[in-house]
Amino acid sequence: MVLLSIFKQYDIRGVYPKEINEKIFYKLAKACSKYFEGKTALIGCDGRLSSLNLKNSVIQALLDDGIEVYDVGLVSTSTFNFLISLKKFDFGIQITASHNPKDYNGMKIYDNNGNSIGLGFGLEKIKEIFENEKFNRNKIGGKLVNGDFLKKLHIDFLIKKAVKSDVKFALDFSNGVGSIVLKEVLNNNYNFISINEKIDGNFPSHSPEPSEESLSELRNIVKIKNLDFGACFDGDADRIVFVDDEGNVIRGDQILYLFSYHLNAKKIVCEVSFPPKFSKFLKSLGKEIYETKVGRTFIINKMREVDADVGGEISSHFYFKETNFMEDAFYSLLILISILEKEKKKLSEVLKDYTLGKFINYKIEVDEDKKYTIIEKLKDNFRKDYEVLEIDGIKVIISDEDWFLIRASNTEPVIRIYIESLEEKKIEEYRKIIDNYIKSFASNLK
């Protein structure tokens, strides 16, 4: 059934209105209400064209169940994360499809501790309720509260963490919701250039996913204006991708290295797509490293389990004990500014100790119902000849510098591949082997 494909590993996403619509979101909200059996809920949304209508449908469903609903309106997922983790609500729903193309939308679901509800962490039970229950449009009569005032809690938190700085930078808001809250923290205190700030669900400037292509405008501005760094938010602003002063796009493991080192973190959580040298380098400094599957659900839960100080993903989501273990792109920005201010250096200079080899990351489109089977077949092939980690997909370690990861995306019908080596010719060799295997397995599967 096509509809059930909207239940992803750690959230719900689909194409609007083909796979998701107001009627489906009404029923999903009813399923959440039954699962949590709560009395209060926090609801927000990003700036996508369909978000407001979907949010209103969710709110109506919860009001019909007698729930007191706090509607924070347009809000970044960073701010929503902060608010839901304060434990003031029984559960929360953020309407967003994050970095997906404009015709997508979805919802992120949270429990009363701010834990992310993904498959294996409660989403499968919500899915079961959604499939099997016949919900009546009963109108018990809940209460709708304008929750816009709650955003000030995040503003106040961030202002306390901000440091006075002469660091010069540029911010690309990608026509998403990142300017909400953050501009109040930065205005009149920092020397920065803002681009693509207007919220527009058509994403006219570039796609809502920060990538080499979509970051070209930001990279040029940083170099032309001789800035210390640049940063780009994705559509819902829970992800922040940095560009150094030379216009190079900085990978998530590089930034987490900076945070781990300069914040004197003792325990660090990263996902499996980090290079082997990340763990080796930080372990040599006496730090404890924990690897997880890719995805916020796994990062957050592992951080809480081990009481970690920081965590991160290669895609540049960053998590902190200070933010109740939630990802916060705004806090990440302030931390980087404080590091550069303290060191009196540009971003490229503070990263000199953590050099990268040559690397590529790309994706291959495959049928949704084939991608996991293909990964299993790849495991059988590569484990014969190489050291292999199977935390998430298949991570083949040839040396500290030469390695690759192949994993099925949790949000798209694609297989993602990361390859790193000191030599470009080896990258091409690995890529050819990997691509041939994937194409062969995909064509042979019925």
User: Which two three-digit tokens encode residue 288?
Assistant: 């404890």
Burial of 188-199, coded b for 16+ CB within 10 Å and e otherwise, reads eebebeebbbeb
- Give the span between the Cα atoms of 348 and 229, in whole angstroms: 8
Non-local CB neighbours of 160 within 8 Å, separated by 6+ positions:
none
Positions marked active-site: 98
8-state DSSP, 116: B
- In angstroms, rounded to a whole number, what is the distance separating the alpha carbons of residues 225 and 245? 10
Helical ranges in 289-423 per DSSP H: 296-306, 329-343, 347-350, 371-382
Tabulate helix, strand, coil % of the chain (nearest 5).
Answer: 40, 25, 40
Question: Phi/psi of residue 278, each to 5°?
Answer: -60, -50
Q: Which two tokens stand for residue 298?
A: 């796994």
Query: Residue 345 in contact with residue 267, Cβ under 8 Å?
Result: no
Taking each helix axis as running N to C, give the angle between helix 252-262 and helix 276-283, from 0 to 180 degrees, rounded to the nearest 10.
Answer: 10
Beta carbons within 10 angstroms of residue 2's beta carbon: 10
Count CB neighbours of 353 within 10 A: 9
Q: Which residues pair with 394 in a beta bridge?
A: 406
Coil, strand or helix: which one is 256?
helix
The DSSP bridge partners found for residue 416 are 363, 407
Residue with tokens 């199977």: 390
Backbone angles phi, psi at 361, to 5 degrees: -135, 140
**What is the distance between the alpha carbons of residues 224 and 318, in angstroms, rounded to a whole number?**
28
Distance CA 446, CA 222 (A): 49
Q: Which amino acid is residue 112, in one-letter code?
A: N
Give 107's contacts (C-beta < 8 A, 6+ positions apart): 11, 12, 25, 28, 54, 58, 93, 94, 95, 96
